Amino acid sequence: MGDVPKKREGLRLLMLNLFYWASAGAYSPFLSAYFTSRGVSGFGTGILMAIGPVAAILIQPLWAVVSDRTGRPRLILMLVTVGAAGSSLLYYTGSRFSTLFLSAACFSAFFQALLPLCDAIVLQRAAQGGLDFAKIRLGGTLGYAAVVFGTGFYLDRHPSAQFALTFGILALLLLFELQLPKSLDKKAPEPAPAEETAPREEPAPGPPRRGAVFTTREAYFVLAFAFIIQLGLGFSGSFLGVYVVELGYSASLIGILSCISALSEVPILLFARRILRRLGAVPILAASGVLMSLRIFLTGVGLIPAFVAAQLLQSVTYMTAYLCCTTYISGHVHPGRASQGQSILAVVQTGLAAVTANLAGGFAAQWLGTQTAYYAAACAIFVSSVLVMLAHRVYLKRSAVPVS
C-alpha cells in the first residue's frame, strides 16, 4: 500500500471511529439525566439503562455471527447503522416508562452491535495496511469530546434534542461506511490447517474444536479484567448523571466532565503501541483495574475537583483497557472469527458487566444512597482486580506461558 492510499485508508478508518464515538457521545452520557428529568426513579433508571447491556448479550452476538458467516461485514455494518439511526427517533413517541422501555429496546438492538462490528473491520484494515489502531482511535476520542462538550450546554434547554443529534451523526457514519471497499464483502475464509491455527502461546496439537474462537486460554483472563473494569465504568457512567442532578448541578457539568475524560485519552493513544509492546496487555489491565477503583472512589466524594480528578483517570482506566482488550482479542482469534471475537468482548463489557452495574448499582443507589454505593463499588473493583491478577500469576507458573 503506497503512502497516498495508506493515508487515505487511515483517514477513512479514523472518520468511522470519529462518527461512531460522536453518536455515543450524543446518546449515552446524558441518558440517565434525561430519564431522571422525566420523573423516572433511581431503580427505574437502572432498569432502563440495563436494556442496552441486555441487548449486547442477547442480540448483538447474532449480528456478529451473521457478519462472519455471510462474509459481508460491510453490508451488515451498514444495515445496523440504518436500524440504529431510525430507532433513535422512537424516543419522541412519548415519555411514559413503557414507551421509554420500548424505545430503548429497539435502539439498543442495533446500536449495541455497532462497536464490535466497526472495530472488527477497522482492526483488520489497520493490520493489513500497517496502520496504528491507537492513532485511528484518536478520531473517536476527539469526536466524542467535541460532541459531549457542546451538547451538555444545549441539553440544559432542550433535553430531548440528543436523539435528533444521535440520528444525524449516525447518518454521517453511514456515509463513511459506504466508502469502505466493497471487497470487504467476500465469503469468510475457511479455517486454516491445524498447524496455522494453533494457539500462539500454548501448544495445542490437532485442529481447533468446533466453534472455538480464541487461540489461547489466557484470553479468558483478559475477558475477566474487561468485565471488572467495565463494571466500574458502567456504574460510574450510568449514575454520574443521576448523582450530578442529586447534587444540584446541571447537564452542562455532565458534558464538561465527559469532555475532560475524553481528552485525557489523547496521550495514551499517541504512545499506546510503544506502551503495549513494552508492558504487555495483562499487566496493564491489572493496573487499570486498581486505578478504576480509585476513580470510582473520587467520583463518590461528590465535589467538583474530585469529579475532575476522576475523569482524568479515564486515560489509564477505560482507554488502556479498551486498547488492550480489542487488540489482544484481534490477535488471538481463529481465522474467520474476527467479528465473533470482538462480539464476545462486547458481551462481557457492554453486556454482562453493564447489566450487573446498572441493576446492582440502581439497587445500591436507592437503598444505600448514591454516595455510599460509589464507595462500595470502589472496594469491590479493587478486591476483584487483585484476585484476578493473582489467579493469572498462578496460571503463568503452571503453564510456563510468558506474559503477552
> pLDDT digit string (tens) for 352-396?
887 787 777 777 777 887 778 888 889 989 999 999 999 988 888
- CA gap 245, 32 in Å, rounded: 10
Q: What is the pTM of this model?
A: 0.69
Residue 205, judged by CB atoms within 10 A of its CB (0-12, 13-18, 19+), counts as: exposed
pLDDT in tens, 19-65: 998 898 888 877 877 887 788 876 787 788 778 888 888 887 888 88
**239 contacts 373 by C-beta, under 8 angstroms:** yes
- Comparing CA positions, the residue from 303, 318, 299, 10 lying closest to residue 176 is 10
Tell me what pLDDT residue 152 has.
Answer: 67
Q: What is the DSSP letter of 157?
A: T
Low-confidence ranges of the chain (pLDDT < 50): 188-207, 403-404
Tell me what pLDDT residue 99 has.
Answer: 92
Tell me what pLDDT residue 199 has.
Answer: 37
Phi/psi at 177 (5° precision) = -65, -35
Helix then strand count (H, E) for the chain reads 19, 0
Tell me what pLDDT residue 171 has.
Answer: 94
The Cα-based distances of 119 to 128, 137, 166, 323, 363 in angstroms read 14, 10, 20, 11, 33
Burial code (b: 16+ CB inside 10 Å, e: under 16) for 270-298 equals eebeebbeeeebbebbbbbbbbbbbbbbb
Q: What's the one-letter identity of residue 327? A: T
- CA gap 261, 253 in Å, rounded: 12
Which residue blocks in 215-337 are alpha helix, DSSP H? 219-246, 251-263, 266-279, 281-301, 304-312, 314, 320-331
**84 contacts 107 by C-beta, under 8 angstroms:** yes
For the chain, the domains span 3-186+213-399
Calculate the CA dihedral of residues 131, 133, 136, 139 and round it to 10 degrees: 180
User: Is residue 214 helix, strand or coil?
Assistant: strand
**Three cell numbers at 97?**
416508562
**56 contacts 112 by C-beta, under 8 angstroms:** yes
Give me the residues paired with residue 333 across strands. 214
The residue to which cell 466524542 is assigned: 144
- Comparing CA positions, the residue from 46, 49, 184 lying closest to residue 108 is 49
The full length of the chain comes to 404
Tell me what pLDDT residue 5 has.
Answer: 67
Reduced DSSP (H G I as helix, E B as strand, rest coil) percent helix, strand, coil of the chain, to 5 = 80, 0, 20
**336 contacts 191 by C-beta, under 8 angstroms:** yes
**62 contacts 347 by C-beta, under 8 angstroms:** no
Q: What is the DSSP letter of 186?
A: S
What top-level class would CATH report for the domain 3-186+213-399? mainly alpha
**Three cell numbers at 112?**
449495541
Phi/psi at 80 (5° precision) = -65, -40
Residue 207, judged by CB atoms within 10 A of its CB (0-12, 13-18, 19+), counts as: middle
Tell me what pLDDT residue 101 has.
Answer: 93
Tell me what pLDDT residue 203 has.
Answer: 42
